[in-house]
Amino acid sequence: MSLIQAKDLSLNIHNQKILNNLNFEANTGEILGIIGESGSGKSMTANSIIQLLPHGASLRGEIIFDNKNLLNISEDKMCNIRGKDIGFIFQEPMTALNPLKNIGDQVSEVIKLHSNITLKDSVKMAAKVLQRVGLPQEKFPLTRYPFELSGGQRQRVVIAMAIAIKPKLLIADEPSTALDVTTQAKLIQLLKKLVSEDDLCLIMITHDLAVIAEMADKIIIMKEGEIIESGSINILKKGLKSVYSKTLFAASDYKSKNINKISSDKTLLEVKNVSRDYSDNSISFFKSKKIFKAVNNVSFNINYNENVGLVGESGCGKSTITRAILGLDPISQGKITLEADEIKAENVDNEIRKKIQVVFQDPFGSFNPRHNVFKLVSEPLFLQKEKVKEKEKYELVEGLLLRVGLKASDSKKYIHEFSGGQRQRIAIARSLIVKPKLIILDEAVSALDVSIRAQILDLLVELSENFGLSYLFISHDLSLVQSITTKVLVMKSGEIVEAGETADVFKFPKHEYTKTLLDSSPNLQKALKKL
């Protein structure tokens, strides 16, 4: 008898089909991976198990947990199961904790709630649990508040609450997605350790096939509320059957078409000894000003027709560099030169701006929702000295939309009518309209689902070949950089710790940090070899 078994599980919300006839099971000591892209219903599956669903939800079928059908259990009894027999870990550690209560209170609350012990004992137990998840008392006293902890540490607190009274089943909904790769690797290790020590059953929900391949025993692939394929983790190695699974697998193991262009030796952009200091802005009578170096003495070149990657975790200073190159923020020291002109934030000539354009990460925030696509894409034409006629503008915009894989008629639509991937195509069209020499891709594919991501990367590769573009490809994800750049820079705490040909850096990383990054980032091939 399995610990948990779903039979013909279906979910409707306001008569809209969310889940359709799901069947799966998982046993004690087992890790079940549920994988799917956004809208696949994977999170709703998790929420269905703990019966925390939005208004208007109706569940059909059975969820047999510990020989009880959870669908027939009263809400009161369900409250006794949640937190006690089933622990739950959420995606967003920054918001999953109550900001006004300290971590000791939050962890002991779940212990006190489900066991007949005194408050004092529950606090003692909380301390022990926090120790187990890697937050020892000496460094992280119970009186800490969530805002005093980093994202990874907060996620450990959430895990502590989930495992505080040794549940039978642990559900983790994208527990590491919001975190940096090195933190993510440590959390995955922690989860694996907890599963083996406590003989837990873990249902791990993620969009990242590599993460699943590294830890799961069984796998379910979901799409649009249905299970497309399931089985032992070995099916990844033996070969998947359905078309969708194959696409997903290929996209997760993305290799771009070989970049077929020869970069020139001539320097396009030179970043020389650039530093950027931030001082503590608050006026203070008692303390001297603290100076924080967001970027410290950074130098690199980008040649004509060359794709350069810039990799680093959050807060490493890569956004600061981007903004400096775009002339949006001033630098404290050093010099940034594009062709013959120096870029100074106070006064960037339109002729210089025309040569550098940018594609941002957020497919939602980077467009004015009140302008139509024509207006959005043609906005950079403002940089042209000579006025472009409306008719020519339309021809330009429509031509570019076709070029990036959209329809000419899309120019009359508004941005909310497009999906995330289509929006990034529009952003690319916008960046191309003034025929720039350099495009900065600031995490341009990070927010997209893997299959969409692969398509956009293909498009980028093709465009860079045909238009003779240089890219500065900024990403936290090493594997993405590998596929489309020839040179790579690794950044940490405001400094470039390693630079070189992409292939060399990946094969023979020199710096410790690069090695850690390479080891931590989930890698499908590596994981498959271990199976």
Tell me which residues touch other proteins (CB under 8 A). 13-14, 47, 50, 52-55, 75-76, 79-84, 87-88, 90, 92, 95-102, 109-110, 113-114, 145, 147-148, 158, 161-162, 281, 284-286, 326, 328, 350, 353, 356-358, 360-362, 365-370, 379-383, 427, 430
**Taking the complex as a whole, how short is the minimal distance between the CB of residue 383 and other proteins, in angstroms?**
4
Mark residue 235 as left, alpha or beta (left: phi above 0; alpha: psi -120 to 50; beta: remaining). alpha
- Would you say 385 or 412 has its CB closer to other proteins? 385
- Measured CA to CA in angstroms, residue 141 lies from 96, 118, 121, 186, 285 at distances of 19, 20, 16, 21, 31
In the complex with other proteins, which residue's Cβ is closer, 112 or 453? 112
| Least distance in angstroms from the C-beta of 79 to other proteins | 5
Q: How far is the CB of 126 from other proteins (least distance, A)?
A: 12
Residue 1 beta carbon to other proteins: minimum distance, rounded to whole angstroms? 24
Cα 355 to the center of its chain, rounded Å: 29
* C-beta closer to other proteins: residue 98 or 137: 98
Q: What is the DSSP string of 376-409?
A: HHHGGGGG-SSPPPHHHHHHHHHHHHHHTT--GG
Q: How far is the CB of 524 from other proteins (least distance, A)?
A: 30
Least distance (Å) between residue 367 CB and other proteins: 5
Task: Report the residue number, 54 or 399, with the smaller CB distance to other proteins.
Answer: 54
Question: In the numeric block, which tokens belong to residue 473?
Answer: 């490809």
C-beta of 229 vs 449, nearer to other proteins: 449
Residue 338: Cβ within 10 Å count: 22
Q: Name residue 342's beta-bridge partners.
A: 337
How far apart are alpha carbons 149 and 142 in whole angstroms? 12
For other proteins, give the closer residue by CB, 357 or 502.
Answer: 357
Angle between helices 181-198 and 151-163 (to 10 degrees): 10
Q: Cβ 276 to other proteins, closest distance in Å?
A: 17
Residue with Cβ nearer other proteins (77 or 257) = 77
Cβ contact 477:276 at 8 Å: no
- 449 vs 489: CA distance, rounded Å: 25
Nearer to other proteins, 280 or 519 (CB): 280
Calculate the CA 86 to chain-centre distance.
26
Calpha distance 17→226 (Å, rounded): 10
Smallest gap from Cβ 89 to other proteins, in A, equals 9
Least separation, in Å, of the C-beta of 252 and other proteins? 26
Nearest approach in angstroms of CB 447 to other proteins is 11
- Token pair for 493: 């705490």
Other C-beta atoms closer than 10 Å to the C-beta of 235 total 17
Q: Which is nearer to other proteins, 9 or 161 (CB)?
A: 161
Q: How many CB atoms lie within 10 A of CB 298?
A: 24
3-state secondary structure 39-67: CCCHHHHHHHHCCCCCCCEEEEEEEEECC
Decide whether 80 or 466 has the Cβ nearer to other proteins: 80
Q: Locate the DSSP E strands across 265-423.
A: 267-279, 291-303, 307-311, 333-338, 341-342, 356-359
